[in-house]
Amino acid sequence: MTMGPERIRRQKSLRFLLQEFALRPSDVVLPLFINDLPAGSSRDITSMPGVRQWTVDDVRPFAARAVEAGVRSFILFGIVGKNTKTASGEAAWDREGPVVRALRAFRKDFGTEVNLFADACFCEYTNHGHCGPITISGLESRREHAETLVGLGKMSTEYAEAGANVVAPSGMVDGMVRHIRGALDAEGHPDVAICSYSVKLASSFYGPFRDAAENAPEFGDRRGYQMDPGSLREATREIMNDEAEGADMLLIKPGMPCLDLIRLAREKSALPVGAYQVSGEYSMLKAAAQAGYLNEEASFLESLLAMKRAGAGFIITYWAMEALAALRKV
């Protein structure tokens, strides 16, 4: 009888030797939510078990523990109070805003040991929750394209000045990569990379993030600028446009629902491709594990490996520290 692949699968040592895709500690990026409140005002995020909204002072010892555990990349999201939010969202580039202050603190604490991604978007800073200034005419709302690009340039240069070595524009604004690249270069930051959210679906899996970032839209939704989940050709256009405009990395969001789009980006572009295991994916697996329906470690590792197998070179995940602990067991 001729044996097939089962001969290899039966032997653990051969399974590890011949595994085509594997997660590495350097693959994971840990997201952090930073608010503008005084020290001691950090809070748990109910819809994301194990995840917190941090103050700048409180997050520093946590980040130090994360680095000690092996985390080498963070992505920062800012949250400001309702009284600070405006229609234009100018708090996004405030030099004393939460992201800018956290970037300065992390560079002081860790030097060049870590990668600091700064998410560049308006939705946490506008009083209407949309990803840019909005004009309302009758029943229609429309994002102001030119004003949004100007703001993205301002926040990106402030983040670079504070210590970000990667700026990550997430609003899916036509021309955003080109505009940000020009702004960074003009302000003396040619080495700061751009990780563009090239394909960001108008997804139902973002719900817990909106609790964490306090950025749910006050009216309407974001389907006018986030991508329709059924548009494969549109994803191709977005990927190729961002590469042509000067992006250094492409990010696909969400993760598991976009395995085909991660593969598409990997095949269409020579740029590094990342995936974002978003809040809904994280909370769904955590809830199933807490209910006893799934093994948490096994299900998370399988989902992350699926993104890696699809073509992701790095993965943003709230489960980053647990992933590193699990990988140390292998």
Whether 215 has a pLDDT exceeding 90, the answer reads no
pLDDT of residue 172: 84
DSSP codes, 40-56: T--EE-TTSTT-EEEPH
Of the residues 12, 85, 108, 253, only one is catalytic, namely 253
The number of residues in the chain equals 330
pLDDT exceeding 90 applies to what percent of the chain?
70
Spatial CA neighbour of 120 closest among 173, 68, 55 = 173
Neighbour tally for 42: CB within 10 Å: 18
Helix pair 98-110, 145-162: axis angle to 10 deg: 30
Whether 2 has a pLDDT exceeding 60, the answer reads no
pLDDT of residue 285: 98
For the chain, domain boundaries: 22-329
Whether 26 has a pLDDT exceeding 70, the answer reads yes
pLDDT band at 46, cuts 50/70/90?
very high
Gap between the Cα atoms of 194 and 114, Å rounded: 16
**254: cis peptide before it, omega within 30°?**
yes
CB 255 within 8 A of CB 307: yes
Gap between the Cα atoms of 154 and 162, Å rounded: 12
Task: Specify the pairing of strand 140-143 against strand 134-137.
Answer: antiparallel
pLDDT band at 141, cuts 50/70/90?
low
Cross-strand partners of 135: 142
253 is catalytic: yes
Model-wide pTM > 0.75: yes
Whether 19 has a pLDDT exceeding 60, the answer reads yes
What is the per-residue burial (b if ≥16 Cβ within 10 Å, else e) of 44-64? Answer: ebebbeebbbbbbbbbbeebe
pLDDT band at 237, cuts 50/70/90?
very high
Of the residues 200, 268, 286, 308, only one is catalytic, namely 200
200 is catalytic: yes
pLDDT of residue 188: 98
pLDDT of residue 145: 82
pLDDT of residue 236: 95
* Topology at the third CATH level for domain 22-329: TIM Barrel (3.20.20)
pLDDT band at 293, cuts 50/70/90?
very high
pLDDT band at 3, cuts 50/70/90?
low
pLDDT band at 209, cuts 50/70/90?
confident
Average pLDDT, the chain: 91
Neighbour tally for 161: CB within 10 Å: 16
Q: pLDDT digit string (tens) for 83-131?
A: 888 888 898 999 999 999 999 999 999 999 999 999 999 888 888 877 7
pLDDT of residue 133: 81
